Amino acid sequence: MNVPFFNYQHIFTANQDKFIEIIKDIGSRGAFILQKDLEEFEKNLAKYIGVDYAIGVANGTDAIWLALLAAGIGKEDEVIFASHTYIATANAIKFVGAIPVPADCRSDHMIDPESVESLITNKTKAIVPTQLNGRCCEMDSLLEIAKKHDLIIIEDAAQGLGAEYKGSGIGTFDKGATISFYPAKNLGSFGDGGAFVTNDKKMYNKVKVLRDHGRNEEGIFVDWGFNSRLDNLQAAILNFKLSYYDDEVKRRREIAGIYQKELDHLKEIHLPPGPDSDQNYFDVFQNYEIEAERRDLLKKYLSENGIGTIIQWNGQPVHSIVALGFKGSGLPYTEEMYKKCLMLPMNTSLSNQEVKYVCNKIKNFYE
């Protein structure tokens, strides 16, 4: 059996006729930039998440630095983020002139609040927790720390659309959250795309001006700005996909449940929290990231049996990238975890049979 890590063709073929219809509609209207389809998607996205505002931008990375700029983060400010994240998080902090400060993670692979607090200095201005793999961080502790030290929180929720902590979804905890619509995301477009979602009207208005060359809704230039607009075609496609997004999440949680049931007994593997393991969390399982003994041999064995896996971000936690000026050490859990972390196939193109095939091969390897 062949089980690729991700089936990109499935993104299109799953609803090919509808997507072609959308493309023809947009093309025939010549409606490519800042049209009603984008406005409808932004409205529906905000409603789905449960926030007042959503604004589409060119990609998830732009969303982070536009949000940081809107919040007034700039030169020499320190911003704490999880080392276990994509480099985009640190890039966004760096390119608003701030200093990215990486923090450790813990057993659920989310940012460790104790590590965050230990890194705070008189220059610290913000925390950017990554809602990683479709799971929210422990937001109560982070909000308490932020309040104690007069900091703001902007969530990097590139992988977190639909995830909740204690009944509250991404984007509702402080200044807002950023989302990616990269094709492999739970809600993926046919190219790059992103959004900023918030309940803060000032943040919304500022990001909206920044994304379109500094123009306000009347077309008047009121600030310096950028070209970071979510194009109308992608917005229309995403709006359609949002209409059945709950089904996407449900299926991913079913797949996670199969992995949990089949693999939980293996002492050589540390699994992510199961879909119903903690009532405080609702995870949407953007990825399924395990820790595995003899990880590299397991990865090779699975590949030989037609199963695609990935070591997230090429095995490089951000703090290990000395070429960018980071120390390369000092975050013990993250460093040990990266010797073992491995992502198994997790997407809605998978059948139960394929998921169980992956599980059986893992069990064969260890047993």
Q: Which CATH number fits domain 245-366: 3.40.50.1820, 2.40.37.10, 3.90.1150.10, 2.60.40.10?
A: 3.90.1150.10
Q: In whole angstroms, what is the distance from residue 318 CA to residue 100 CA?
A: 10
CA angle 302, 305, 308 (to 5 degrees): 50
3-state secondary structure of 337: helix
Question: What are the start-end ranges of the H helices in 109-244?
Answer: 113-118, 139-149, 201-210, 232-242
- Considering the chain, tell me which residue range(s) the CATH 3.40.640.10 domain(s) occupy: 8-242
In contact, 153 and 126? CB cutoff 8 Å: yes
Q: What is the CATH number of domain 8-242?
A: 3.40.640.10
Q: In whole angstroms, what is the distance from residue 342 CA to residue 321 CA?
A: 19
Q: Which of 209, 184, 60 is nearest to 128 (CA)?
A: 60
Which residues on neighbouring strands pair with residue 130, listed in sequence order? 156
Q: Please list the pLDDT of the chain residue by residue as tens digits (367 residues).
A: 999 999 999 999 999 999 999 999 999 999 999 999 999 999 999 999 999 999 999 999 999 999 999 999 999 999 999 999 999 999 999 999 999 999 999 999 999 999 999 999 999 999 999 999 999 999 999 999 999 999 999 999 999 999 999 999 999 999 999 999 999 999 999 999 999 999 999 999 999 999 999 999 899 999 999 999 999 999 999 999 999 999 999 999 999 999 999 999 999 999 999 999 999 999 999 999 999 999 999 999 999 999 999 999 999 999 999 999 999 999 999 999 999 999 999 999 999 999 999 999 999 999 8
State both tokens at 245.
Answer: 């997004």
